[in-house]
Amino acid sequence: MSQKISTEFKLIADWITPKSRVLDLGCGDGLLLKHLIEKHQINGYGMELDAQKSIQAMQNGLNVIQSDLNSYDLSYYFDEDSFDFVIMTQALQVVRRPDELLDQMLTIGKNCIVTFPNFGHWRNRMQLMFGGKMPETETLPYHWFDTPNIHMCTFKDFENLCEQKHIKVVARTVVNRDHQTSLGMRLAPNLIGEVALYQIRKK
């Protein structure tokens, strides 16, 4: 029985070359990798810290390495350019040093795909401006004190970091939380977009 694939995963799958070697960081239950294996016959590994999720990923037939992205440098496990794609969905904002992890991803992967929520979305801006409170929305459903999202950024922040680090943004797709796009999101992504998918590589 094939499980339902999220729009985000479908959008990512469109960027993946068939039969490529793929690493998914924070692969969760492994549904993205499973989808990529079925659709593109990729050769993939997943990394996941959570014990229960890594068991689910194993049940989905994947090679799963249980590892903490905060404790181990990816280059410990993998050689330079050893993957065609390194993917990290909705996890950049939870790691201790997103900038360092990006460097590691770009070292071991020829292409990287990252997705993260936009802190610059107008709802967040409104809550901070008029409520004077840290935003709590459906995309960001936590309190400031218990959120795993310790490094929130806006699309602009991310693109500034890329420029500073000489990272090339190959493609960008901005969507709402249901992973749909609109004219407004295309015109004012940093205000209207809720989630961004970036494909990046070394310049």
Partner 1 sequence: MSIANPTVEQRFAFKAPLPLKSGSSLPEYELVYETYGELNADKSNAILICHALSGDHHVAGIDADGKKGWWDGYIGSGKVIDTDKFFVVCSNNLGGCRGSTGPTTINPQTGKVYGADFPIVTCKDWVESQNELRKYLGIEQWAALVGGSMGGMQVMQWAIDYPEKLRHAIVIAAAPKLSAQNIAFNEVARRAIMSDPEFHDGRFLDQETVPKSGLALARMLGHLTYLSDDMMGTKFGRELREDKLKYNFDVEFQVESYLRYQGEKFATKMNFDANTYLLMTKALDYFDPAADYDHDLSKTLAQATAKFLVVSFTSDWRFSPQRSHEIVKALLDNDADVSYAEITSAHGHDAFLLPNDHYEGVFGNYMQRVYDDIPTAEASV
Alpha helices in 24-145 (DSSP H): 31-40, 51-59, 74-77, 98-108, 122-126
Does the protein bind partner 1 through residue 20 (CB under 8 A)? Answer: no
Q: For the segment 131-170, give every residue that binds partner 1 (CB under 8 A).
A: none
* Residue 77 interacts with partner 1 (CB under 8 A): yes or no: yes
The structure tokens listed for 14 are: 């469109």
1 touching partner 1, by CB under 8 A: no
Least spacing, CB of residue 17 vs partner 1, in Å: 17
Residue 51 in contact with partner 1, rule: CB under 8 A: yes
Task: Quote the least distance from Cβ 136 to partner 1, whole Å.
Answer: 31
Task: Decide: is 21 part of the binding site for partner 1 (CB under 8 A).
Answer: yes
Which position among 55, 134, 161, 162 is part of the footprint of partner 1 (CB under 8 A)? 55
Side-chain-side CA neighbours of 171 within 13 Å: the count stands at: 11
Orientation of helix 7-15 relative to helix 31-40, angle to 10°: 50
Distance of closest approach, residue 81 Cβ to partner 1, in angstroms: 14
Q: Quote the CA–CA distance of 146 and 122 in Å, as a whole number.
A: 22
From the list 69, 73, 119, the residue with the least C-alpha distance to 94 is 69
- Smallest distance, partner 1 to C-beta of residue 75, A: 11
Q: For residue 93, what is the DSSP state? A: G
Which residues 6+ apart lie within 8 Å of 89 measured at CB?
8, 12, 24, 26, 32, 113, 114, 115
Alpha-carbon distance of 179 to 55, in angstroms, equals 27
Side-chain-facing half-sphere of 51: CA atoms under 13 Å: 0
Stretch that binds partner 1, among 32-40, 61-69, 174-182, 186-194 (CB under 8 A): 61-69
Tell me the site size for partner 1, rule CB under 8 A: 21
> Does 94 interact with partner 1 (rule: CB under 8 A)?
no
CB of 51 to partner 1, least distance (A): 5
Does 52 help bind partner 1 (rule: CB under 8 A)?
A: yes
Binding site for partner 1 (CB under 8 A): 21, 43, 45, 51-52, 54-55, 58-59, 61-67, 72, 76-79
